[in-house]
Chain A
Amino acid sequence: MATDEHSTVAARGTNPQDDTILAPRRSRIQKLGLIARQNPLAAVATVILITVVAASAAAPIVSPHDPLQHNLGDNFISPGMEYYLGTDNFGRDVLSRLLHGAQLSLFIAFAATFMGVGAGSVIGIVSGFAGGWLDLIIQRFVDAIMAIPGLILLLTLVMIMGAGASSVIVALTIFIIPPSVRIVRGHTMTVSNEAYIDAARVIGASYTRILVRYILPNVFATIIVAASVVIGAVILAEAAIGFLGLGVTEPTPTWGNMLSVGAQQHMEQAPWMAITPGVLIVIVVGAFNLLGDGLRDVLDPRLRGR
C-alpha cells in the first residue's frame, strides 16, 4: 500500500461516518443489502463462507459416514451414490473427512489469525505511534523475520514444539505477527499525522487516551481488512504444513493432511483423494480473498478500486 500517504487528504470526505450523518437513516439490514449490491462478489463469498462454516460445525450430524471408520472392503471406491466423494485407501468416506477436517482447519485458521493479527496490531500501533528508534528496531526485526521463508519458519517451530493442533496454532500466530505489524504500523503513521490527533494532544489527552480513543478506532478498519486477507494465507500455510507431513497427524483429518505424503502414494489409483480437498481450499481461500477486497472497499474508501 505504497500510496497511502499520498491519497489520504483527498478522500477524507467519503468517510463512512459522514455518510450516516448526511444520508437518511437506514436499518442495519437495509445497509447490508446496499453493501451487498455494491459488492456482489463479496456477498457471494460471504454466503459460501457461511455455508462452509455451518457445514463444518454440523459435521457430526450431516456427514454421511464416520470420518475415522476403516471399511477395508470399500477402499478406493470412486465417487457415487454410496460415497458421494469416494473413499480413500482405508475405505474412509472422503466427504465426511472433508467436513470434519474443515472443523479443525478452520478452527486453527481462525485462532491463529485472531491471536496473530491481534498481537501484530498492538505492536504495529505502538511502533507507528511511538516512531523514533523503537519503531526503527521493531521494523528491522520485522524485516529480519520476514526474510526467512514462512514455511521454513513454520516447519521449524512445529518440529520444535511437537506435532499437534496447538503447536500449529502457535507457529502460525508467530508467522502472521510480522506482516500484521507492517500493515497496521503503516496505517497508524498516516492516522497519527491527522489534524484531529494534534487537536487531541493540544487539549491535553494522555498518550493512552489518544491511542485508545483516537488511533484505534481509525485503524480498526485496516485491522479487519488485514485479518480477512491474512486468514487466506493462514489456511494455505496450514495446508502446506499438513501436506509436508508435519502438524496435525493422522488419523485426525485436516485439509492439509488429506493431501499429505502418506496419501499421495494412493492418488494414482484414486485421484479424487487429491482433487476434492484442493478444490475446497481454493474455494474457501478465494472466498476469503474476495471478502477481504469487498471489506476494504467498504471500510477503507481511500483504497477503492485498488
Chain B
Amino acid sequence: MTGYIVRRLIGAAFVLFLLTIVVFLMVRSMPGDALIVKLGETGRIPDEQLEELRDEMGLDQPLVVQYVNWFSGLVQLDFGDSLIHEGRDILPYILRALPVTLQLAVYGLAFGLVMGISVGILSAVYRGTAIDLVARGIAVFGLAAPVFWVGLVLILYGSLWFGVSVTRSYVSFADDPWVNTQIMIWPALILGLNLGAQIMRYTRSSMLEVMKQDYIRTASAKGLPGRIVLFRHGLRNAFIPVITLVGTQFAFLLSGSVVLEVLFRLPGLGRLTYEAILTRDYPAIQGAALLIGTFVVLINLLVDLAYGYLDPRVRYG
C-alpha cells in the first residue's frame, strides 16, 4: 500500500505541475501585446497605465520567462494582481468565494450520492419492472437537461409549484445557517440531479454485473437471506466503480456550479471566474482556474487512494 500511495502522490504532483502550464497557456495562448490591446479596448485602463501594465506583467518577455515568473510567484502563494479589484491581490477574493462553491459542491454531491445510489439499487433489483423504467427515465432526463435550464424553470415556476421564491439575496452560512440552507438547497438539488443520474446508471449497471458473479450465487446457495446477499456481498463490490465516477465527475460538478452561481446570484468561485472572464481580468482567471483545478486533482488523488484501499487488485496491478 505504501508504494501505491507514493506512486499516486508523485503522479498527482506531476499533474499539478502540468496544470500550471495548461492554465498559463489557456490564458496566454494569445500574444501578450494583443492581450494589452484587448484590455485597452475595454476602455477601463488609461493608455499611460497600459505601458506600466505591460511592464508589470512582463508581457514583453519570452513566454517561458513569463511562466517562470508566474510559477515562482505561485510557490510563494502570490497568485498575481487583479486588473479590476481594488487592493489588487486576488488571493483574498478567491478565498472568500471558495466556501460558497465548496458548500454547493458538497450539498450537490451528497444529494447526488443519496439519490443515485438508492434509485440505482432499486432499478437493478427490480430490473425490467415499472420501477426500473421510471428510474431510467429520471436518469435520461437528469443527464440530458441543461443544469441552467432546470434552474431557470425552477426560478420561473418555483413560487407557483412550491410556494417559495427560490432566489433571494445571499446570506452566508455563518450569518444565518437556516436562511443560507434555504438559498443553497435549490441549486444543490439541481446539481445533484445531474450527478445523481450518472451515479444511478453506474450503480445500476455495476450492481447487475456484480449480481452475476459466482460469489453471489455461492452466497445465495448457502442460504443467506436475500437482504444480506444484496447489501453485504453485492453492494460492497458494486460500489467500487461508483467511487471512481465521483472523482471524475467532480470537475463536472464545479462546471455546473458556474452556471448555477450565476443564475442564483451566489458569490462563489464560479461566478468570480465568470465575471473575471467577462471583464478580461486575466490574472484572476488564472488564479481561480488554478485553484479549482488543484481541488479537482486533490479529490482525484483521494479517490485513487480510496480505490486502492477498497480493491487490492488496483494497488498491486
Show the binding face of A for B, using Cβ within 8 Å: 2-3, 140-141, 143-153, 155-157, 159-160, 232, 236, 239-240, 243-244, 246, 259, 264, 267-268, 271, 274-275, 277-278, 281-286, 289-290, 305-306
Contacts and interface: CB of A to CB of B under 8 A. Distances in A.
Interface stretch (B45-53, B226-234, B285-293): B285-293
Contacts of B288: 152
Contacts of A156: 26-27, 277, 285, 289
Contacts of A149: 251-252, 254-255, 258, 270, 292, 296
Interface string B88-125: 00000000000000000000000000000000000000
B149 A281 contact: yes
Given A144-B297, A152-B289, A282-B149, 5 more contacts: A144-B15, A144-B16, A144-B21, A152-B255, A152-B292
B152 A267 contact: yes
Interface of B: 11, 14-16, 18-19, 21-23, 26-27, 29-30, 140-141, 143-150, 152-153, 156-157, 205, 208-209, 240-241, 244, 248, 251-252, 254-255, 258-259, 262, 270, 273-274, 277-278, 280, 285, 288-289, 292-294, 296-297, 300
A274 B158 CA distance: 14
B293 A147 contact: yes
15 contacts: A144-B15, A147-B300, A149-B252, A153-B26, A155-B273, A155-B277, A156-B27, A156-B277, A243-B149, A244-B262, A281-B145, A289-B140, A289-B143, A305-B208, A306-B209
Contacts, number: 155
Nearest to A2: B241
A3 B289 contact: no
Nearest to B156: A271
A160 B30 contact: yes
A144 B19 contact: yes
Contacts of A148: 19, 22-23, 26, 251, 289, 292-293, 296
B258 A145 contact: no
Contacts of A271: 156-157
Contacts of A155: 258, 273-274, 277
B37 to A, nearest CB: 12
A43 to B, nearest CB: 15
Which 4 A/B pairs are nearest by Cβ-Cβ distance?
A: A286-B144, A278-B149, A144-B18, A285-B144
B200 to A, nearest CB: 13
Given A3-B209, A160-B29, A143 B300 contact: yes
Q: Which of B156, B262, B292, B297 has the most CB of A within 10 A?
A: B156
Contacts of B289: 148, 152-153, 156
Nearest to A245: B278
Tell me if B's interface is mostly helix, strand, loop or mixed.
Answer: helix
A151 B259 contact: yes
A150 B248 CA distance: 12
Nearest to A174: B26
Contacts of B280: 159
A147 B297 contact: yes
A268 B273 contact: no
A283 B144 CA distance: 7
A236 B146 contact: yes
A140 B140 CA distance: 31
A140 B18 contact: yes
B296 to A, nearest CB: 4
Given A148-B293, A286-B143, A2 B300 contact: no
Nearest to B12: A143
Contacts of A244: 258-259, 262, 274
B274 A264 contact: no
Q: Which of B30, B145, B208 has the most CB of A within 10 A?
A: B145
A281 B144 contact: yes
Nearest to A260: B148
Contacts of A2: 240-241, 244
Given A159-B280, A275-B153, A305-B205, A281 B27 contact: no
Contacts of A267: 152, 156
B35 to A, nearest CB: 9
Nearest to A287: B144
Given A145-B22, A148-B23, A149-B252, A240 B157 contact: no
Contacts of B140: 286, 289-290
B67 to A, nearest CB: 14
Contacts of A151: 255, 258-259
B146 A281 contact: yes
B15 A274 contact: no
B104 to A, nearest CB: 13
Contacts of B143: 232, 285-286, 289
Nearest to A261: B262
Contacts of B150: 278
